[in-house]
Amino acid sequence: MLRKKIIALICLVGLTTSLTACGEAATTSEVTSDYRPSNKVEKPIANTASSSGSSTESGTTTQNDVVIRKAKEESFLDEFSYELNSAYDSICCESAEVESFMPGDYYEEEFNTEEYNYIQENGFLKVATSPLSTFAADVDTGSYSNFRRMIHDNYSLEDIPMGAIRAEEMINYFDYDIKESRDDNRFAVAYETGICPWNEDNDLLMLTVKAKDVDLDYVGNNFVFLIDSSGSMRSNDKGDLAIKSFKLLAETLTEDDRVSIVTYSGSSQVILDSCDGDDYDKICRALDSIEFGGGTNGSGGITAAYELADENFMEGGNNRVIIASDGDMNLGITSTGGLTDLISEKKESGVFLTVLGYGTGNYSDANMESLADCGNGNYHYIDCIEEAERVLVDQLKETTVTVAKDVKLQVEFNPTQVSEYRLIGYENRTMAAEDFEDDTKDGGETGAGQTVTVLYELVRNDDGNKGSDLKYQTDRELTDAALSDELLTLSIRYKEPDGKKSVEENFDVLAPKDSSDDLSEDLSFVAGIAELTMIINDSDYLGNATMDSAYQLVKNGTADDEAREELCKMMRNLR
């Protein structure tokens, strides 16, 4: 609905502009805002007298991305002015200052061109024919903070773009109760099951995998801050917030660390070449010197940053490029495929990647997520300074210290216990079963103490059906393990941060004696997130899911946790 209103409003503006050109003089004003900045197209303003804007009936002037022109000398424009103001009032939700323009000034028209990858939802698979579920571990969290930004910008459910909300990123934003491994394993595993809230004939299975908070004896951090300094980053929620974010990170560094800073717009520029991490003032002066303007040659910036990381490579250290951008790249390599090929090549240098997304309007989530997935990296969306502090200070080790790379998970279901299963989320991280043992295939990266949470919807095999009954094959011969009370086996493969060969760990998950309607706080909370995500993405497997039931599940699982309560409040506003 909002999109239709905006389109109608733009058409009215175009018609009014044409009519105004017939008059001898017109007044021009602009509503300016950093509320929802986006792609900006500069256009010269005609040589006309300026006037200040007027207020709405409530006494305040509301924000909008569209310039409102009012012509006062031609009476036949009054009707159009009235319709423009009505449309303007109906789609705005915040107050803004109205600035007057002088002849020769420029105004900026803004358009929402956010980009998201298409999500093909996982469906049910039969254990008899597809007993293995294989995917790369993914601990990106960008979808949640992007969702929060949309809610704060008064998006309705219908306004949220398709592909913007990924279930696994929503789920993995939060922490869940699991004890660390006390044995020699790198990972610990916890699990629980319960009746599926949106389909009571099925079960839910929640698997939580936690990496050890191991001390890898790093000699220090070699960080390269790669900052998009193009014109599209010139706003409070983009460039300004990115600079503040890096200053927070700089405060945590010591004399054992090294920092370099590269910017890119039409070309790349090294503005700080490897200074001591504890030289906070020098780092801040370099950050404050950044000026935003020009095009966006992201591929050139990536190449320059990795070259600088290689030049200052710290043997036995944590070498990482941290990129801050809105993902909108219009020079050099601009396609998502070309960028992922570039970053896949660069990751072989042993340098890891953290991707920080900023801004709205022209934001390319597709580019930012793909860079992280293909570059031994993780992806976060920074919508406020509190989120920057969470990612770069509170969870610094989890987000910047990799303890296992190319992490892959493979679940083998017991056909006597489960007849069908559906993996919720991870659509763009699924792999062929044979790729699990192929060390050339990329997996995910896991930080120190970080958790990966996975949710399955299961069709339990209560009738004892043991396999397929096809024309060319009969039921498979079952092993002794299949006749046990094991629900599944979870296998985890990973490499050491500087390793080439994978290590495998295996964990047995036992079938519950009885599935319960009374879900634990963690499982209730995760089930609520799953329902919310399915509703947003118009899932084919909604069953009885509603916003009310999703809200109640999340509310039951808040556990007096501030972050969980925040989600509960946002969902209450969506109901």
161 lies in some domain? no
CA atoms within 13 A on the CB side of 351: 26
Residues 470 and 393 in one domain: no
Given a contact cutoff of 8 angstroms between Cβ atoms, the answer to whether 303 and 342 are in contact is yes
Tokens representing 137 are 């571990």
Do the bridges between strand 352-357 and strand 132-136 make them parallel or antiparallel, or are there none, so unpaired?
unpaired
Per-residue pLDDT of the chain (575 residues; tens, 9 = 90+): 444 445 544 544 454 444 444 443 333 333 333 333 333 333 333 333 333 333 333 333 333 343 333 333 333 334 444 344 444 334 333 333 333 333 333 334 455 689 999 999 999 999 999 999 999 998 899 999 999 999 999 999 999 999 999 999 999 999 998 887 778 899 999 999 999 999 999 999 999 999 988 766 678 999 999 999 999 999 999 999 999 999 999 999 999 999 999 999 988 899 999 999 999 999 999 999 999 998 888 788 888 999 999 999 999 889 999 999 998 877 666 566 777 788 878 778 889 999 999 999 889 999 899 888 887 889 999 999 999 999 999 998 888 888 899 999 999 999 999 999 999 999 999 999 999 999 999 899 998 889 999 999 999 987 655 555 555 555 667 787 877 889 999 999 999 988 889 999 999 999 887 776 789 999 999 999 999 999 999 999 999 999 999 999 999 999 889 999 999 999 998 86
Does pTM surpass 0.85? no
The pLDDT value given to residue 467: 52
- Please, which residues bridge with residue 463 across strands? none
Among candidate residues 218, 249, 452, the one with its CA nearest the CA of residue 354 = 249
Domain-embedded: residue 182: yes
Residues 328 and 421 in one domain: no
Assess whether 341 and 435 both reside in one domain: no
CB 168 within 8 A of CB 138: yes
DSSP labels for 236-279? IIIIIHHHHHHHHHHTT--TT-EEEEEEESSSEEEEEEEEETT-
**Same-domain check for residues 497 and 447:** yes
Domains identified in the chain, total number? 3
Range of the domain at 502: 125-136+174-215+403-574
Give domain status of residue 242, yes or no: yes
443 and 406 Cβ atoms separated by less than 8 Å:
yes
Indicate left, alpha or beta for 560 from its phi (over 0: left) and psi (-120 to 50: alpha): left
Asked if residue 368 and residue 350 are part of one domain, the reply reads yes
- Residue where a domain terminates, one of 369, 399, 429: 399
Residue 367 lies in a domain: yes
Residue 301's pLDDT is what? 87
The single residue listed with the structure tokens 């039969």 is 126
433's tokens:
């079963």
Residues 6+ apart with CB under 8 A from 146: 164, 165, 357, 365, 381, 383
Report pLDDT for 268.
87
Q: Of 399, 428, 446, which closes a domain?
A: 399
DSSP 318-367: EEEEEEEE-----SSS-SHHHHHHHHHHHGGGS-EEEEEE--SSS-BHHH
- Phi–psi pair at 149, nearest 5 degrees: -60, -45
Q: What span, in angstroms and rounded, lies between the C-alpha atoms of 10 and 17? A: 11
Q: What is the CATH number of the domain that holds 419?
A: 2.60.40.1230
- DSSP codes joined into one string, 435-456: GGG-TTS--EEEETT-EEEEEE
Do residues 169 and 142 touch, judged by C-beta distance below 8 A? yes
User: End-to-end CA distance of the chain, in Å?
Assistant: 17
Q: What is the chain's length? A: 575
User: 196 with 457: CB under 8 angstroms?
Assistant: yes
What pLDDT does residue 1 have?
Answer: 47
Q: Output the six-digit token pair for 208.
A: 């939580």
Alpha carbons 574 and 549: distance in angstroms, whole number: 13
Task: Please state, in angstroms and rounded to a whole number, the distance separating the CA atoms of residues 575 and 571.
Answer: 6
Q: What is the CATH number of the domain that holds 301?
A: 3.40.50.410
Asked, for residue 158, whether it belongs to a domain, the answer is no
Taken in order 351, 355, 356, 361, is the CA torsion positive or negative? positive
Query: At residue 25, what are phi and psi to the nearest 5 degrees?
Result: -150, 155
On whether both 363 and 414 belong to a single domain, the answer is no
C-beta of residue 214 within 8 angstroms of C-beta of residue 397: no
Please check whether residues 382 and 415 belong to one and the same domain: no
Written as six digits, the tokens of 221 are: 């951090």
Query: Strands 377-381 and 418-424: what pairing?
Result: unpaired
* Helix axes 547-556 and 521-536, enclosed angle (nearest 10): 150
Task: Collect all residues with Cβ–Cβ distance below 8 Å to 108 and sequence separation of at least 6.
Answer: 40, 41, 42, 43
The reply to whether 362 and 242 lie within a common domain is: yes
User: In which residue are the tokens 């299963």 written?
Assistant: 421
- Note whether residue 300 is domain-resident: yes
Q: How far apart are CA 380 and CA 389, in angstroms?
A: 12
In the listed set 399, 420, 446, which residue is the last one of a domain according to the structure? Answer: 399
Q: Residues 222, 319: contact at Cβ < 8 Å?
A: yes
In a domain, 322, yes or no: yes
Q: Indicate if 259 and 363 belong to the same structural domain.
A: yes
- Domain shared by 430 and 515, yes or no: yes
Q: Is 395 in the same domain as 422?
A: no
CA nearest to 259, candidates 233, 224, 231: 224
Co-location of 560 and 432 in the same domain? yes
Q: CA-to-CA distance for 537 and 534, rounded, in angstroms? A: 5
Asked, for residue 168, whether it belongs to a domain, the answer is no
Q: Half-sphere exposure of 572 toward its Cβ, with a 13 Å CA cutoff?
A: 7
